[in-house]
Structure 1
Amino acid sequence: MKEPKSGDIWRYPYLWDWQAEQGEEDGRKNRQSLVLMAIAKDNQIYFLSITSQPPRPGQTRIEVPEMERRRAKLDDKRLWVVLEEYNRDSLTDSLYFQPDGYLGEFSKGFMKIIRATFAVQLRARKAKEVARR
């Protein structure tokens, strides 16, 4: 199995914050999700969702450039990385992580932009964590 690392794109049943608030525990479908961080020491992995839905007012999303979509082997349509929420899961005993779900990866340069923007969201307390278990 490929070990997930920052910048990887995996199929993952991402659980939206609104679904968790309604008591749901499973994501409704596998979607393209970005590994923001994989921390072996703490046994944690952090996912950001990738969506074809453009941002609405008040949402912070970064559009995925065409070159990054090709590099990561993603759909050939407009996509955005969602930065207003994220999933936290376990690296070793996740009920949701799929070891065969690797799709591709973003460049280090694009990840630098994503991490910097996400850090601003975290500091402003505008990114909600959805812990999986």
Structure 2
Amino acid sequence: MTTEPPETGLVVRYSFLWPREHDRGEIEGRKDRPVCLVVPVDVGQGAVVVFPITTQEPLPGRSAVAVPDTERRRLKLPGDRPCWIMLDEANSDVMPGSYHLVPLETHPLRYAYGRFSPAFMRVVLRTMGESIRARQLRMVPRER
């Protein structure tokens, strides 16, 4: 559990539960991964939406944004492969206080890699909005 204040663009390590896993009745993510937080406005105290960051190239028709190498290196995201933020699958949670946060492997008392730049987050938020308007977003609730 972390006391890191949630801010849009914060990247944390998280036990992300994919909607397909949730549909099969699973309640925990199979793999801890970096995720990008987006803090919804006027939804509830500490309410956040987290979008997974993956090294698997998205299939055509999926809503995703490639993470620029400069952003990936600056945050020291694991690995050296290209990665994407998937914007058509998400978890909703409450932070601080989520039990699904996982400490960083390199810093066992920290959960956050850092924050994406405001310029990159504008691209992410615009694409997220397009995904929501197209009704592509699948959300899995993870609140305690």
Q: Fold-level match, TM-score > 0.5? A: yes
Corresponding residue of 2:20: 18
Q: Which runs of 5+ in 1 are unaligned?
A: none
Aligned length: 133
Is the contact made by 1:38 and 1:91 (CA closer than 8 Å) also made in structure 2? no
CA distance in 2, matches of 1:98, 1:15: 13
Partner of 1:116: 126
Q: Distance in 2 between matches of 1:38 and 1:124?
A: 18
How big is each residue's C-alpha offset from its partner over 1:20-74, in whole Å with a ceiling of 9 and x where there is no partner? Answer: 0000111112101111226695331110000000011221211111111112211
The unaligned stretches of length 5 or more in structure 2 are: 104-109
Which residue pairs with 2:66 in the alignment?
Answer: 63
Is 2:4–2:96's contact at 8 Å kept on the other side of the alignment? no
Secondary structure of residue in 2 paired with 1:57: coil
Are 1:79 and 2:89 counterparts? no
Whole-angstrom CA distance in 2 between matches of 1:98 and 1:39: 25
Q: Matched residues in 2 for 1:97 and 1:68: separation?
A: 21
TM-score normalized by the length of structure 1: 0.90
Normalising by structure 2, report the TM-score.
0.84
Task: Give the distance between the partners of 1:104 and 1:76, measured in 2 at CA.
Answer: 17
How far is 1:4 from its partner?
Answer: 2.4
Does 1:104 pair with 2:114? yes
- The CA distance in 1 between the partners of 2:96 and 2:76, in whole Å, is 26
SS in 1 for 2:39: strand
CA separation of 1:35/1:131 partners in 2, compared to 1, >3 Å: closer, same or farther?
same
